[in-house]
Chain A
Amino acid sequence: MLTLQGVTKRYGDPQTGTLAVQDLTFDIGTNEVVTIVGPSGCGKTTVLKLMAGLLTPTAGTISINGAAVTRPPEEIALVFQDYLNSLYPWMTVAQNVEFPLKRKVRERAVRAERVATALESVGLVGFEGKYPWQLSGGMQQRVAIARGLAYQPQMLLMDEPFGALDAQTRADLEDLVLRVRDAFDITIVFVTHDIDESVYLADRVLVMGPRPTFIEADLPVDLPAPRDQIESKELPEFARVRSDVYRRIRRSSEAMRTASTQTVGS
C-alpha cells in the first residue's frame, strides 16, 4: 500500500547538502508489520518522516495506495518516541485522543465512541480525565497509540516508540501493538534500534545500512502467530533471523565508525 521509489533526501542544498537517504526503494504491503532496524544514527527517523509526509524527498516518489504523498496523508497516523512532547500537556487523556478527530468526525457521539474504543483497546479505561503528565511513561505511550488508533488510519507509523521504556513495559506494549494490529486491521511500520524487538514484531524486517541510508536486507520472519514473548523467542527461526540482523548491523556500525563522515542528527 505504501511504495518508495528511488527516494533520496539531502538536507540543506539539493545538490551539495548532506546526503541522508539515497535511492531507497521498497514496498509496505497491506496489513503487514514491517520493522525498520539499523545502527543508531543511520537515518531511520528520516526515512520514517519521509513516509509520514513530514519531509519532502529531494528525488524519487513516495505513494500511498497509488497517490503521491506530498503532505501528511490521512491514511497514516504517527506515534513518536518522545511521547512526553507528543501529547498535549494541557489536554486530558480523552481530549488528546479526540483532538485530531475534531474536524474529521463531525458528530460528537461518533467521536466519543471512537475515543472510548481506542482507550479501551490500549487498556486505559478510567484514565480519560487524567492529564498525560500524571501517567507513567508506558501509559503515556498507550495514550499516543490510542490517539493513533482513534484516527482510524490504514497505517500506523511508529518511531522507536518504546525506546525510553523499561523492559517489562516494553514487552507489554509490543504485545499490545500486535493485538491492535489484529483488532483494527491495520498496517504497521515500526522503527527501532532494538534487534529482538524488530524480529519479534515483524512479518518483515528491513535492515538499514549506514548513511546515506539504504536497504541492506529485506528479511521475512516466519514465526507463527500469535507471538509469545517467551515461546516465539525460543524458536530456531527467531534465533536465525535475529543473528542475521545482528551480523548485518554490526557490520554497518563498524563501517560507520571507520568512515569518518560528518554526522547529522537522525
Chain B
Amino acid sequence: MRLKNSVYVAAEVVTPVLVLLVILWFTNAGSSFFLPPLQDVFVAFADNWLFALVPTQLVPSLFRLFSGYLIAVVLGVGIGILIGKSPRIRRQASPVIEFVRAIPPPALLPFTLIAFGTGDEAKIILIALVCVWPILLNTVDGITGVDTTLRETGQSYRIARWDTLVHVDLRAASPQIFAGMRAALPLALIIMVISEMVGATNGVGFFIVQAQRTFAIPQMWSGIILLGILGYVLNLLFTLVERRALAWHRGSRADAV
C-alpha cells in the first residue's frame, strides 16, 4: 500500500516534468514563430511577472476579479435566500432566471461596453452578472432543500427568524452554496480576461493582446501561463476555505455512508 502511494506521488512529480521536457524539446526543435522556445517564455515570465508588471497589470485584474466575484456572491446568496424562502417568488422568477442565464456571457460584453464604458465598473459588472447565476441557483436549491425536521425543530424551539436564517438555513445550504461558488470561480477568470481583451487599458488580458499585436510572442505566452497559475492558485485557495467551512459536512457524510 505504502509502495503504491509513493509510486503515485512520484508519478505526480514525474509526469509534469516529462511534459515540460517534451515541450522544451518540441519548441526548440521546431522553428514555429508562434511557439517560441520554452526557455524564452520563462525569461519573459521572469521579466514581466517577477514582479515588474504585477502592480500595473496583475493588480487591476485581480481587483476586477475579486470585486465582481464578491458582488456575485452577495447578490447570489441574498436573492437566492429570498427566492428559496418563498415558493410564490420562486414560481414567478424561475422562467426569467432560466432565460437570462442561458445567454452566453460574452454576448453581454457589447452592452456593458456602451453602458458602462471601458473602466473597471464595466468589467466588474460583467463578472458579477455572469457569476451570479450558478451561485443564485445553488442557493435556491440549498435553501429549498433544508430538511423538514430541521425546520420544525427550529420552529418548535421558537428560534428567532434571524438566527434561523444565519445559523440554520445558511449553514444547511452551505454545501450547495459552495458548489455554486466553485462553479462561478473559473467563470470569473474567463470573463475577466475576455473583458480586458476587448476594451481595456491594462490588465493581464490587455497585456496578452498587446503582446500579440506587437509580435512579442514569448511575452504573450508568459501572460497565458500566468493565467494558468492564477486559476490554479485560486482553486487551491477556494478548496482550503471550503474544507474548513464544510468540515462538518464531510464528517457527517462520511459517517452516514
Contact = CB atoms under 8 A, between A and B. Distances in A.
Interface in B136-195: 147-150, 152-153, 155-160, 163, 167-168, 171, 174
A72 B156 CA distance: 5
Interface string A147-180: 1000100000000000000000000000000000
Interface in B54-102: none
B252 A131 contact: yes
B249 interface: yes
Interface string B116-147: 00000000000000000000000000000001
Nearest to B162: A103
B251 interface: yes
Given A54-B156, A72-B158, A77-B157, A85 B252 contact: no
A52 B163 CA distance: 21
A6 B42 CA distance: 84
A102 B166 CA distance: 13
Interface string B15-56: 000000000000000000000000000000000000000000
Interface in B218-250: 248-249
B149 A76 contact: no
Contacts of A133: 248, 251-252, 255-256
A163 to B, nearest CB: 13
Contact of B248 (A52, A80, A100, A131): A131
Nearest to A55: B152
A76 to B, nearest CB: 7
A133 B108 CA distance: 46
Given A85-B150, A103-B163, A90 B171 contact: yes
Interface residues on B, range: 20 to 34
B157 A85 contact: no
Of A49, A85, A131, A134, chain B has the most CB atoms within 10 Å of the CB of A85
B159 A134 contact: no
Nearest to B146: A85
Contacts of B152: 49, 54, 78, 80
Contacts of A102: 159-160, 163
B150 A100 contact: no
A76 B152 CA distance: 13
Contacts of B249: 89-90
The B interface is mostly helix, strand or loop, or mixed, namely helix
Interface string A101-120: 01110000000000000000
A137 to B, nearest CB: 11
A160 to B, nearest CB: 12
A90 B248 contact: yes
A164 B157 CA distance: 23
A85 B147 contact: yes
Contact of A99 (B148, B167, B248): B167
Contact of B159 (A54, A90, A91, A99): A99
A253 B58 CA distance: 74
B156 A78 contact: yes
Nearest to B167: A99
B248 A89 contact: yes
Given A102-B163, A103-B160, A86 B255 contact: no
Contacts of B251: 89, 131, 133-134
A85 B171 CA distance: 13
A80 B153 CA distance: 8
A140 B237 CA distance: 34
Contacts of A72: 155-158
A74 interface: yes
Contacts of A74: 158
Nearest to A135: B255
Contacts of B174: 90
A11 B209 CA distance: 65
Nearest to A96: B153
Given A102-B163, A103-B160, A131-B251, A86 B153 contact: yes
A71 B159 CA distance: 12
Contacts of B155: 54, 72
Nearest to B174: A90
A85 B156 contact: no
A194 interface: no
A134 B149 contact: no
Closest 5 A-B residue pairs measured CB to CB? A100-B157, A133-B252, A85-B149, A78-B156, A90-B248
14 contacts: A52-B156, A54-B152, A72-B155, A72-B156, A72-B157, A80-B153, A85-B147, A85-B150, A88-B171, A90-B248, A99-B163, A100-B159, A102-B163, A133-B251
Given A78-B152, A90-B249, 18 more contacts: A54-B152, A74-B158, A78-B153, A80-B149, A85-B147, A86-B150, A86-B153, A88-B171, A90-B171, A90-B174, A91-B167, A99-B163, A102-B159, A102-B160, A102-B163, A131-B252, A133-B248, A133-B255
